[in-house]
A and B are shown apart, each in its own frame.
Chain A
Amino acid sequence: MNDIKLDPTTISTVWHSMQTATKEMRYIIDRTCQNMLISQLHDVSCGLWGADGSTIAVPVGLPVQFLGGEFPVRDLVKKYPDDMEPGDVFLSNDPYHGGHANHLPDWAFFRPIFYEGELLFFTMTRAHQQDTGGSFPGGYFPNGHDIHAEGICIPPTRVVKAGVEQTEIFELIWNNVRFSEGVKIDNYAMIASTKVCEDRIVDLLDNFGRDTVLACVDEMFDRTEKAVRAEIAKIPDGEYTAEAATDDDGTTLDEHVWIRVKVTIEGDQMTIDFEGSDGQRTGFVNCVYAATYGCASGAAIMTFDPALADYHNAGTMRAIEIKAPLGSVVNCEYPATVGASPVNMGNQIMEAVLDALSKARPERAIAAWGKHRGDYTFGVDPRTGERYVRTSFDYDGSAGAVWGYDGYQGVTSLTAMGAINRGDMEEMEARLPWRILKYEMVEDFTGEGQWRGGPGIHWEAVNEGSDGQMATGSSDGDVVQGFGAQGGNPSPVCRTYIDRGDERIRVKPHRMVDVKEGDIIIKQSSGGGGVGYPADRDPEMVLEDVINELVSIKAAREIYKVEIDLETKTINEVETKKLRAA
């Protein structure tokens, strides 16, 4: 294989064909599934791996869902060493027992891709199901005693054998989840996406030949590794530490849970070590290693050249080592609960790594993003007489600032890294018995800085359905604030309330509460942290924010040290000079 000569066009074509195949997978799922969270909000990841588990193409998805995809693929090969054939599909949602899922609602379908009888690749799609069994709908509630309380645990299991659906296995699985008719459609949509990927990759092999394609994959790894090492080499050698916490674990209330990180740069090698993080908890904020690996590498990737974004693969990971002590909250052991894992500690892992790297490389500093403000509400929709569960990201804040730019407005929590969308209001109201009353960006509700975080969000909706319940986890940010970088301010604290008649009830994250017919849920979710000192912000940008009602006159004066005359929409240069000189 070594004597194969590759030209740039062939490498580029093979590389982009593989990326495009995984993007097309998400498109197939979009078009065919029925779960709003997957089809519309894109809580789904699709990728391509080598037969040895090497990550080949992961351009669209959530770090926590699939950047650690090499681990389940490797274990799958171990479990079925000589017992796989074309047309097989395996399903798993188990964080343990070889599944390496981040939490139970994220079901993964794996398909081995054979070419002329030889196993060459795996494709996987992992997506958040409408339900996964367990004590309450949606899979996001605190206080489970162990993983089995959180839902059905499916170890890597062959659900399609040589193209034939193993109906009895599926029936056993679907019988253990709510909304099974819907989950069934979504499962078919996901399986279809892996089939389309297989077709595309086989076409590619037909066009270029096995040896050329495999040689291209090696070259892709080498090129990405070289580019990533060049990025790491730009970071000054040294040890950089940071820590991040979540408000509590939902079981032991009002006690922070901490993760701690030390990022070591030695030349072109990066080590991310979570030694010193809290031990695994009874509450549902634990991450298995694959989830930690996905979040930590995702955060590191964010600080690299954005031009590499679609091209990260196994080559990236050759330059990054991720250590997490076994039995800790970032490398939990069976039977620890993991329900909130993607958000807590997922967000904290990403925040801590970004915080450490922002100290190391100011010109790539990235502040914390707005916290996830999940609420998982369930009850009965009177229009259908059927049960529903609402899982959404609409009430999340916005991105944190980066050096040189304000935080992007409207993206949801950091752990999704921009992959997840907000929902369409009309579609939400058509499908769920909640009418949206207010949904807007809020003044003075983000971390200030030379570059500020994206704006915070105020979201309000009224329950037109039955009495029901709401799980506020996974959520964050009522106490712990997202960090600002290089002198930027942290993101403000968030609040959730239920208005019931004249009564206003405050609801903290990681709680189960009742919701009554007519209740109004109010969510105030702050934007991200700022980067650089607020008093260094360009006064023209402050003026623009004041005009756009994102910054008040008072905050302009007191925090940004800019005096604005709102009537004439101008900067009072003299006063501003005085304020900034003080």
Chain B
Amino acid sequence: MKSCCVNVAVAANVWHAMVIRQYEKHIWLRRVSHEECVGRARKANADHAAEPSEIAALYQEMEDEALAAFKKIGVDKSLVSFRRTIDMRYIGQFHEVEVDVDGGDFGSKSLIQASGAFGAKHDELFTFAMPWKGVELLTLRVKATTPNAPFKLPEIASGGSDASAAKKSNRQCYFGDGFVDVQVYDGSKLLADNEIPGPAIIEETTTTVVVPENYDCLVNANKNYVLTRKGEN
């Protein structure tokens, strides 16, 4: 390992900028024939055949619900993107495979596209597909996503290369060849550009970083500890 970067808690609060909402409609529809976009209902447990217009209405309902929810938190609908999926299986199977469905008006072609995507994914996952076989549609799903809000990692002030202001204590530590005297630093007092020669220990509230004997540590502007092997700078 030439160098590594230890990222500590200072930047953790910025990772929630992207918002995903997921909606589901549980259905049980059958599409018996792949040639016809609307299959006939088998005189079966299924309520009725898969009508593209019904599916379109369910997707629309979920997307409207998502937009209303985003509106409440001040996200404009132009920022929201949707991913539609259907959980499908061959008639008789016990388990479904989730496949992507094209956006826009859901129609006969969408059902053919989804069936094709299902067969392809079944083949990819399980090494075979059964294109002659009818399918069941069990769950319609919409994932509504906003893009990441623009953000910048917070920066800390520079303190120059001298890290002595953060010195906390000394400790005897075992480093393979025996015990050595090690400088311990208070992580909360370290500033950007501080340099810490190994061996050293940096104590944070939530973690402890060990700088081995053959590494040096540099604190960067985002409060990352960048460890580099001695002599490779």
Q: A: which residues have CB within 8 A of B?
A: 28, 30-34, 36, 39-40, 181-182, 185, 188-189, 191-192, 195-196, 199, 383-385, 427, 430-431
Contact = CB atoms under 8 A, between A and B. Distances in A.
B57 to A, nearest CB: 26
Contacts of B43: 384-385
B93 A430 contact: no
A364 to B, nearest CB: 38
Contact of B95 (A31, A185, A199): A31
Interface in B120-138: 122, 125-128, 130, 133
A188 B92 contact: no
A192 B93 contact: no
Contacts of A191: 128
Interface string B77-105: 00000000000001111110000000000
Nearest to A384: B44
Interface of B: 42-45, 90-95, 122, 125-128, 130, 133
A32 B44 contact: no
Contact of A39 (B44, B91, B94, B125): B94
A371 to B, nearest CB: 28
Contacts of A39: 93-95
Given A196-B127, A384-B43, A30 B90 contact: no
Contact of A185 (B42, B44, B45, B130): B130
Nearest to B122: A32
Contacts of B44: 383-384
A573 B94 CA distance: 53
B82 to A, nearest CB: 28
Closest 7 CB pairs of A and B: A34-B92, A192-B127, A31-B95, A195-B127, A39-B94, A192-B128, A32-B126
A188 B128 contact: yes
Given A188-B128, A195-B127, A196-B127, A384 B45 contact: yes
A34 B94 contact: yes
A189 B91 CA distance: 14
B174 to A, nearest CB: 27
Contacts of B91: 34
Contacts of B128: 32, 188, 191-192, 195
A40 B94 contact: yes
Contacts of A383: 44-45
Contact of A31 (B42, B45, B92, B126): B126
21 contacts: A28-B126, A31-B95, A32-B95, A32-B122, A32-B126, A33-B94, A34-B90, A34-B91, A39-B93, A181-B92, A185-B92, A185-B130, A188-B130, A192-B127, A196-B127, A383-B44, A384-B42, A384-B43, A385-B43, A430-B45, A431-B45
Contacts of A385: 43
Contacts of B94: 30, 33-34, 36, 39-40, 427
A184 to B, nearest CB: 9
